[in-house]
Amino acid sequence: MIIRAETSDDVARVRHVVLSAFGQADEADLVAALQASGDVEIALVAMHGDQLVGHILFSKLAAPAGCLGLAPVSVLPEFQNQGIGGALIRDGLDIATRKGWQAVFLLGEPAYYERFGFTVAAAHKFGTIYPKPYVMGLELTSGALDALDGALTYAQPFLDLES
Ligand SMILES: CC(C)(COP(=O)(O)OP(=O)(O)OC[C@H]1O[C@@H](n2cnc3c(N)ncnc32)[C@H](O)[C@@H]1OP(=O)(O)O)[C@@H](O)C(=O)NCCC(=O)NCCS
């Protein structure tokens, strides 16, 4: 399995992976909307031979400054629980760190994301429209979160989902 940057040739196969992983269209439509709006900062795919089996997307938050949102991450059902999601998350976080992003936030299951260093505590002081027990953060630059506050605000395509 290799992980590489998503290209424009991958769009249809990425949609298939996201649809299959979530079993509904909302997240695949979100990925398409983020691709169209130009809000994608990091997008990676996992390849098993010629087969595209996983995908992850990081988008720039409208606030706080210098922070990314991780969502969604998707692995084809028949390839789940083989470490592919974890590898996509770790590679994405490495790239985000190298590029100098301050922190990453997500809405997810703490039991899964804690293993990558995300904590609910890191996100706690930020306002959010999402349920707090599932809003998690990970500081990439030491001390970065101390200087930030306000409301976590995702890119517009996420906000369109809520309306
Ligand atoms: C969540 C997902 C990306 C994880 O990818 P994966 O390749 O299956 O995960 P990994 O193999 O790296 O890790 C597997 C571990 O994660 C755990 N895990 C997977 N989904 C979980 C969840 N929703 N809650 C808690 N733990 C979860 C598994 O139980 C397993 O735990 P273990 O290592 O203790 O045995 C994948 O299962 C998926 O696409 N799910 C459907 C879409 C989704 O819910 N995406 C996340 C929200 S954006």
Q: What would the pLDDT profile of 68-98 be if each residue is shown by its tens digit? A: 999 999 999 999 999 999 999 999 999 999 9
**Which among 107, 88, 104 has a CA at the least distance from the CA of 45?**
88
- For the chain, give the percent of residues with pLDDT over 70: 100
CA–CA gap between residue 47 and residue 115 (Å, rounded): 23
Evaluate: CB of 136 within 6 angstroms of ligand 1. Answer: no
Evaluate: CB of 35 within 6 angstroms of ligand 1. Answer: no
What per-residue confidence (pLDDT) applies to 162? 79
Hey, what amino acid is at 2? I
Pocket test for ligand 1, best of 29, 74, 114 (most atoms within 8 A of CB): 74
Task: Please determine, for residue 25, whether its predicted confidence score (pLDDT) is greater than 90.
Answer: yes
The per-residue pLDDT of the chain, averaged, comes to: 96
Evaluate: CB of 46 within 6 angstroms of ligand 1. Answer: no
In ligand 1, which atom is closest to the CA atom of 80?
Answer: 8
Task: Please determine, for residue 117, whether its predicted confidence score (pLDDT) is greater than 90.
Answer: yes
pTM attached to this predicted model? 0.96
Evaluate: CB of 86 within 6 angstroms of ligand 1. Answer: yes
Which distant-in-sequence residues (6+ apart) come within 8 Å of 97 by Cβ? 140, 141
Across residues 3-20, what is the average pLDDT? 98
What per-residue confidence (pLDDT) applies to 85? 98
Where helices occur in the chain by DSSP H, the ranges are: 11-22, 26-37, 84-98, 110-113, 120-123, 156-162
What per-residue confidence (pLDDT) applies to 161? 84
Pocket test for ligand 1, best of 73, 79, 130 (most atoms within 8 A of CB): 73
What per-residue confidence (pLDDT) applies to 38? 94
Evaluate: CB of 20 within 6 angstroms of ligand 1. Answer: no
**Residues 21, 74 contacting (CB under 8 angstroms):** yes
Distance from Cα 108 to the centre of ligand 1, integer Å: 10
What per-residue confidence (pLDDT) applies to 146? 93
Report pLDDT digits (tens) over 143-159: 999 999 899 999 999 98
Pocket test for ligand 1, best of 17, 59, 81 (most atoms within 8 A of CB): 81
Structure tokens of 127? 């306002």
Task: Please determine, for residue 40, whether its predicted confidence score (pLDDT) is greater than 90.
Answer: yes
CA–CA gap between residue 116 and residue 106 (Å, rounded): 12
Tell the residue nearest (CA) to atom 20 of ligand 1.
112
Which DSSP category does 96 fall into?
H
DSSP per position, 55-74:
EEEEEE-SBSTTEEEEEEEE
Tell the residue nearest (CA) to atom 10 of ligand 1.
83
Which distant-in-sequence residues (6+ apart) come within 8 Å of 64 by Cβ? 102, 103, 126, 148, 149, 150, 152
- The confidence band for 163, taking pLDDT boundaries of 50, 70 and 90, is confident
- The confidence band for 134, taking pLDDT boundaries of 50, 70 and 90, is very high
Superfamily of domain 2-162: Gcn5-related N-acetyltransferase (GNAT) (3.40.630.30)
